[in-house]
């Protein structure tokens, strides 16, 4: 069995959904299980509908119109999604009436994107003569904790999912992105989380391969929207892919690699617009690449926190105390760099940061700089190669881009450089040109 996950663009309109059916048909001998995202733009539209509670009704109606148009063009019955659309309208109405709608309500509303999409794709497969059934992950046992918006699957989720999926006749079409708490509330796994669902489904069913179908030719040496001459990377290790995803390569959700790695399931990232392209294979070990650096990634919206304290000098327990403040406020820290009296670190979420800074100021001077970006060079080859950092600095220096912080993890997979947000795209292009030519 294989898992085939189709992202938002791949199911974005009737023509693309037909393309998906053709790709699924080409894999029928390998017993495919399909995972789908919401149609492109639908999750954002649902978020807007939920937030602008006043115009919630209209946004719901617009979505209904869009889905009806796709159904018509596909020639599948509109009734296939009629009950989901009705429930969505009710959920939006309920959120509008409640004085302060919660994160739980929001996840409930967001779930409709994937629910509608799974119904639609399953109906299209059936219309094309392929036996298929839509499966809601929340109803199929994908149990999670109750961190709405960023829920973590529970261990029991995998055996539950396996049992549910085994019962489906024909090709299961599973909703990406969503799960359910033990007490029955719908959760979401974080933006872009359908990739993660695919990996969980693959791990649950012992799939031989997980295919991530998207709108580009695999994982590329940089975001092709920023660097048009970026090339496809043939092979990546799970660690390299995870590092790239974590540091901004949106093509894969950062959590996707973990379930695949645990079960040793290879992944392939493929292009629905060009199904014959081999894309990128992600597996336990990458080929011994000739390239030192395989890709340049970039994560924007980063905040730098500089913490200076003379008391730090020789004080044991200081760092533990400092990081405890971030842990207490549930603020994940991305990159850290220290000297004898100062610690610089970056965070990509500012919720709780103001309170954390207030606490830190009890024992240190703290400076906060918003609007930064982390630009990262990733590749296992860097372990064996001297001088990468020098080349990185030379490339950015040549462009007059100031580097505010540098960090190289112990794994030596990644060198991260912090720059001003305005300089980020230029920095990515300069580094790409330095390591891969062109530009």
According to the binding rule CB under 6 A, does residue 223 interact with ligand ADP? yes
Q: Which is nearer to ligand ADP, 8 or 172 (CB)?
A: 8
115 Cβ neighbours under 8 A, 6+ residues apart: 84, 136, 175, 178
Q: Which is nearer to ligand ADP, 37 or 164 (CB)?
A: 37
Window of 5-13, 338-346, 376-384, 403-411 that interacts with ligand ADP by CB under 6 A: 5-13
197 Cβ neighbours under 8 A, 6+ residues apart: 5, 35, 137, 142, 174, 175, 176, 177, 178, 189
Cα–Cα distance list, 171 to 122, 126, 276 (Å): 8, 10, 22
According to the binding rule CB under 6 A, does residue 9 interact with ligand ADP? yes
177 binds, among ligand ASP, ligand ADP, Mg ion, none (CB under 5 to 8 A by kind): ligand ASP
According to the binding rule CB under 6 A, does residue 401 interact with ligand ADP? no
| Cβ neighbours of 273 (radius 10 Å) | 15
**Quick check: 221 and 294 in contact, CB under 8 A?**
yes
Window of 2-10, 85-93, 104-112, 411-419 that interacts with ligand ADP by CB under 6 A: 2-10
For 158-192, b/e burial (b = at least 16 CB within 10 A) is: beebbebbeebeebbbbbbbbbbbeeebbbbbbeb
Q: Which is nearer to ligand ADP, 25 or 250 (CB)?
A: 250
Q: Counting runs of H as helices and runs of E as strands, what totals does the chain give?
A: 13, 16
According to the binding rule CB under 6 A, does residue 242 interact with ligand ADP? no
Beta bridge partners of 175: 36
Of residues 108, 193, 218, 254, which one binds ligand ASP by CB under 6 A? 193
Of residues 194, 214, 280, 407, which one binds ligand ASP by CB under 6 A? 194
CB of 248 to ligand ADP, least distance (A): 7
Window of 3-11, 101-109, 375-383, 422-430 that interacts with ligand ADP by CB under 6 A: 3-11
Distance CA(122)–CA(364), nearest Å, equals: 58
Convert residues 154-193 into a mask of x (bound to ligand ADP by CB under 6 A) and - (unbound). --------------------------------------x-
CB of 417 to ligand ADP, least distance (A): 17
The interaxial angle of helices 103-127 and 56-74, nearest 10 deg, is 10
CB of 253 to ligand ADP, least distance (A): 8
| Cβ neighbours of 15 (radius 10 Å) | 10
Distance CA(250)–CA(247), nearest Å, equals: 9
228 Cβ neighbours under 8 A, 6+ residues apart: none
Cα–Cα distance list, 85 to 65, 75, 126 (Å): 10, 18, 20
**Quick check: 423 and 372 in contact, CB under 8 A?**
no
CB of 55 to ligand ADP, least distance (A): 26
Of residues 153, 176, 192, 379, which one binds Mg ion by CB under 5 A? 192
**Quick check: 172 and 130 in contact, CB under 8 A?**
no
Of residues 6, 50, 112, 177, which one binds ligand ASP by CB under 6 A? 177
| Cβ neighbours of 196 (radius 10 Å) | 26
Window of 7-15, 129-137, 149-157, 407-415 that interacts with ligand ADP by CB under 6 A: 7-15
225 binds, among ligand ADP, ligand ASP, Mg ion, none (CB under 5 to 8 A by kind): ligand ADP
According to the binding rule CB under 6 A, does residue 38 interact with ligand ASP? yes
266 Cβ neighbours under 8 A, 6+ residues apart: 209, 210, 260, 281, 282, 283
Window of 78-86, 161-169, 187-195, 309-317 that interacts with ligand ASP by CB under 6 A: 187-195
Of residues 19, 56, 108, 113, which one binds ligand ASP by CB under 6 A? 113
193 binds, among ligand ADP, Mg ion, ligand ASP, none (CB under 5 to 8 A by kind): ligand ASP
**Quick check: 309 and 341 in contact, CB under 8 A?**
yes
Distance CA(344)–CA(335), nearest Å, equals: 8
According to the binding rule CB under 6 A, does residue 30 interact with ligand ADP? no
Q: Which is nearer to ligand ASP, 164 or 194 (CB)?
A: 194
CB of 400 to ligand ADP, least distance (A): 25
Residues that bind Mg ion (CB under 5 A): 7, 192
- Binding interface with ligand ADP (CB under 6 A): 7-10, 37, 192, 214-216, 219-220, 222-225, 249-251, 295
The residues that touch ligand ASP, with contacts defined as CB under 6 A, are: 7-8, 37-38, 43, 113, 176-177, 191-194
């Amino acid at each position: 069995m294989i898992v085939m996950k189709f992202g938002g663009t791949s199911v974005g309109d009737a023509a693309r959904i037909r393309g998906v059916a053709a790709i699924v048909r080409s894999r029928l001998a390998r017993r495919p299980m399909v995972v789908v995202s919401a149609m492109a733009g639908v999750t954002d539209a649902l978020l807007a509908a939920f937030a602008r509670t006043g115009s919630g009704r209209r946004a719901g109606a617009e979505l209904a119109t869009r889905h009806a148009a796709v159904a018509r063009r596909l020639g599948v019955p509109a009734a296939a999604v009629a009950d989901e659309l009705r429930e969505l309208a009710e959920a939006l109405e309920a959120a509008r009436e409640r004085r302060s709608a919660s994160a739980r309500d929001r996840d409930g509303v967001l779930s409709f994107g994937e629910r509608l999409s799974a119904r639609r794709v399953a109906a299209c497969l059936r219309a094309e003569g392929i036996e298929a059934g839509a499966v809601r992950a929340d109803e199929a046992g994908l149990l999670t904790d109750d961190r709405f918006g960023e829920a973590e699957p529970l261990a029991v989720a995998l055996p539950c999912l396996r049992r549910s999926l085994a019962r489906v006749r024909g090709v299961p079409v599973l909703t990406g992105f969503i799960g359910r708490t033990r007490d029955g509330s719908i959760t979401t796994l974080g933006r872009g989380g359908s990739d993660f669902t695919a990996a969980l489904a693959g791990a649950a069913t012992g799939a031989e391969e997980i295919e991530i179908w998207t709108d580009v030719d695999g994982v590329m040496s940089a975001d092709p929207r920023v660097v048009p001459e970026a090339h496809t990377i043939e092979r990546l290790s799970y660690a390299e892919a995870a590092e790239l995803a974590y540091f901004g390569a949106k093509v894969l959700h950062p959590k996707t690699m973990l379930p695949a790695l645990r079960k040793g399931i290879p992944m392939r990232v493929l292009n629905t617009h060009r199904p014959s392209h081999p894309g990128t294979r992600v597996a336990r070990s990458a080929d011994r690449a000739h390239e030192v650096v395989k890709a340049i990634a970039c994560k924007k919206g980063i905040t730098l926190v500089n913490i200076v304290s003379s008391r730090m000098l020789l004080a044991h327990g200081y760092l533990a105390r400092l990081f405890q403040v971030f842990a207490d406020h549930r603020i994940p820290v991305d990159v850290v760099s220290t000297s004898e009296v100062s610690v610089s670190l970056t965070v990509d979420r500012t919720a709780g940061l103001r309170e954390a800074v207030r606490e830190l100021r009890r024992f240190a001077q703290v400076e906060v700089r918003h609007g930064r970006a982390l630009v990262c060079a990733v590749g296992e080859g860097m372990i064996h190669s001297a001088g990468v950092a020098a080349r990185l600095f030379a490339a950015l220096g040549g462009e007059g881009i100031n580097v505010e912080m540098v960090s190289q993890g112990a794994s030596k997979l990644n060198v991260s450089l912090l720059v001003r947000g305005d300089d980020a795209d230029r920095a990515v292009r300069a580094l790409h040109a330095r390591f891969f030519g062109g530009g």
